[in-house]
Structure 1
Amino acid sequence: MNTSTQARYSKGAMLFHWVIAIAVIANWRIAEAAEHAEMPAKAEIFGYHKALGITILVLTIGRLLWRWAHPVPPLPSTLAKWEAALARTVHVIFYVLLIGLPIGGWLANSLTGRSVDMFGLFTIPPLPVGMNEALGKSIFDLHGLGGEIFIYLIALHILGALKHTFIDKNGGIFRMLPFGKV
């Protein structure tokens, strides 16, 4: 039987989770702000979106490395099979999007001849893929669609955590917090 400590994620996993979660939501809001801005402010705001996207990619790689070195707690045994399958599927899709969206954004920028300025600290050059404006635009469109899907999955994830915590009373959200009863 799991004790409260064994049922929780490690402190490192918690830190990665919450920093990435905040960064993803902030980056979504930055992209929304950029979409409604006029040039040249639009380009400047998208610059922050790109830099934060690459930061999220680096954090996600760190999180995956951490996860491989620190086992995750098992899902609560009280979950229905469909809930466990949905949780695992959503988590896999999260990782695909956390890696795929920044790489897709970098690729689309590269295809349109743009580098990524990392908050004025350094510049990430375009990938060596040549210019292809049409393909770059298509990838930008897919990037936007992936971002929308991500936001809906985040909402589903939050609703699931709240359901497990307050309806099922299995302390679901406290698995990823250093306090509360699991």
Structure 2
Amino acid sequence: MPLNNTPTRYGAISKVFHWLTALLILTVIPLGMIANGMAHDLNAPEIASTQADIQRTALLFSMHKTTGVLIFFVALARILWACTQPKPVPLHPARRLETFAAETVHWLLYGSLVLVPLSGWIHHAATVGFAPIWWPFGQSLPLVPRDEDVSHLFASLHMIFIRVLLLALALHVAGALKHVVIDRDSTLRRMWPGGGETEPPATVAAHSALPALAALIAWSGALGIAALSGVFAPHAAPPAPASATATAPSDTTTAGWQVVEGTLAISITQMGSTVTGEFADWNADITFDTPAAPGPAGTVEVTISIPSLSLGGVTQQAMGPDFFDAETFPTARFTADILRTDTGYDATGTLTIRDTTLPVTLPFDLILQDDTATMTGTLQLQRLDYQIGPSVTDPASLGLDVEVDVALTATRSGE
């Protein structure tokens, strides 16, 4: 079978691209539908979910995302190949409306095969955690920040483009069936493996840019309808339970100091990818005086609102009974003495998460400049020590070590 197209038939390479794309689409769509249904069940409070359910859902999402990235590159290669090849002429060029509709659907298909996986990939790159892409380069994209609003926008675009793709697929299949059942011509046979030459029509319709323009109008219409229906409204985080009463770090004060900014973040490895989250609400009560020599320097007590944690796509699972159990244990507490050492500072005390209190030491660096203090520190924890995810003991699924990163800047407010 010749590799290249001719005006009367498709070559072997075009056929491989066509049927490979069809196979991948028939794989990726059911995977996405099943995974979304399972994710909905995980987030439903009335449905009891196990860690095995979470792992199966993550596996299906990873398969869906990885297949989507493959479709993106196959589609690009297919489009580049099509640009170098003659397109077989329509068998019925006199049917201008039908030819126009068929070419418009082809444009919708080509564009959707790029837009659907690309929007999904950007959504994945902008969010935090849950179900990695199984490509070594797949977890992030240049110029795409880790931002929930960006993630929400491209998740919405992904769903819109999927609907356009499904409509185009339905029209494409309906057109192919019409040629087989009603017209009984060789349109489908030209793309079928092993199909040969067909008789060229007596007259050939001229190529036009109108089908491409019609496809652009269709995409614009879909986006317009979505915008009017509120799909692109800013993503609102679920409110924290009323029992979480910690105050924002920008409102915290110390003895003689006021915290002007600060972050409290955690990182853990899930299925080979690092998932990073941040607590939005926490309260720090700190006393501190710079000692002239190594020794006691003050005290610190930090109260953390567990429901304020944002952990990307796994936030709701992290709040569940098998993990933080935020409904039963809405706060965590760190109480320690601050000691100046020969090399820096340590905050040595206890950390209480859920109903477990254990001794911990947070080493940190402190920079004092006039009336401004800047502190950064990292603490390594073992999640199983605090009964967080005790049913997940395989570190390949969910890492055992949790890294806690603390940073704050405070200014002296007077004695």
Aligned residue among 95, 101, 117 for 1:80: 95
- Contact 1:90–1:153 (Cα < 8 Å) also in 2: yes
Pick the aligned partner of 1:62 from 59, 65, 77: 77
1:83-118 deviations in whole A, cap 9, x for unaligned? Answer: 111111111111111111111111111111359522
Displacement after TM superposition at 1:69 (Å):
2.1
Calculate percent identity across the aligned residue pairs: 27
Q: Is structure 2 residue 26 aligned with structure 1 residue 11?
A: no
Superposed counterparts of 1:10-159, under 5 Å? 10-37=11-38, 38=42, 39-78=54-93, 80-113=95-128, 116-118=132-134, 122-127=136-141, 128-159=143-174
- Whether the aligned pair in 2 keeps the contact of 1:101 and 1:147 (CA below 8 Å) is yes
Q: Structure 1 residue 180: deviation in Å?
A: 6.9
Which amino acid in structure 1 is aligned with residue 34 of structure 2?
A
Structure 1: which 5+ runs fail to align? none
The correspondence for 1:167, drawn from 175, 182, 199, is: 182
One-letter amino acid matched to 2:8? A
Please list the CA deviations of residues 132-179 of structure 1 after superposition, one character each: whole Å capped at 9, or x if unmatched.
Answer: 212312321221232133122212111101111221122221121123
Gaps of 5+ in 2: 1-5, 43-53, 199-415
Is 2:93–2:99's contact at 8 Å kept on the other side of the alignment?
A: no
Q: Distance in 2 between matches of 1:68 and 1:78?
A: 21
Report if the CA contact (8 A) 1:30-1:48 is conserved. yes
Encode CA deviations 1:50-69: one digit per residue, 9 max, x unaligned: 11011011111111121122
- Relative to the length of structure 2, the TM-score reads 0.40
* SS class of match (2:190): helix
What CA distance in whole angstroms lies between the structure 1 residues aligned with 2:29 and 2:94?
31
CA distance in 2, matches of 1:96, 1:83: 20
**SS of residue in 1 equivalent to 2:189:** helix
Matched to 1:65, the amino acid is: L
SS in 1 for 2:92: coil
Relative to total residues, which structure has the larger helix share, 1 or 2?
1
Aligned counterparts of 1:80 and 1:124: Cα–Cα separation in 2: 45
Aligned partners of 1:108 and 1:136 also within 8 Å = yes
* Preserved CA contact (<8 Å) 1:101 1:143: yes
Q: Tell me: CA distance 1:36–1:147, structure 2 relative to 1, closer, same or farther (3 Å).
A: same
Residues 21 and 79 of structure 1, relative CA distance in 2, 3 Å threshold: farther
Per the alignment, residue 411 of structure 2 pairs with none
Q: Which has the higher strand share?
A: 2
Q: Which amino acid aligns with 1:27?
A: V
Q: Find the residue that maps to 1:97 and give its secondary structure.
A: helix
Moved more, 24-33 or 64-73: 64-73
What is the TM-score with the length of structure 1 in the denominator? Answer: 0.86
Amino acid in structure 2 at the alignment position of 1:25? L
Relative to structure 1, the CA distance from residue 79 to residue 157 in structure 2 (aligned partners, 3 Å threshold; closer, same or farther) is farther
One-letter amino acid matched to 1:109: H
**Greater Cα radius of gyration, structure 1 or 2:** 2
- 1:179 is aligned to 195
Structure 2: distance between partners of 1:164 and 1:107: 38
Larger relative contact order (C-alpha < 8 A, sep ≥ 6)? Answer: 1
Task: Tell me the distance in 1 between the aligned counterparts of 2:85 and 2:100.
Answer: 22
Query: How far, CA to CA, are the matches of 2:92 and 2:174 in structure 1?
Result: 19
Task: Say whether the 8 Å CA contact 2:7–2:86 is kept in structure 1.
Answer: no
Q: Cα RMSD over matched residues?
A: 2.1
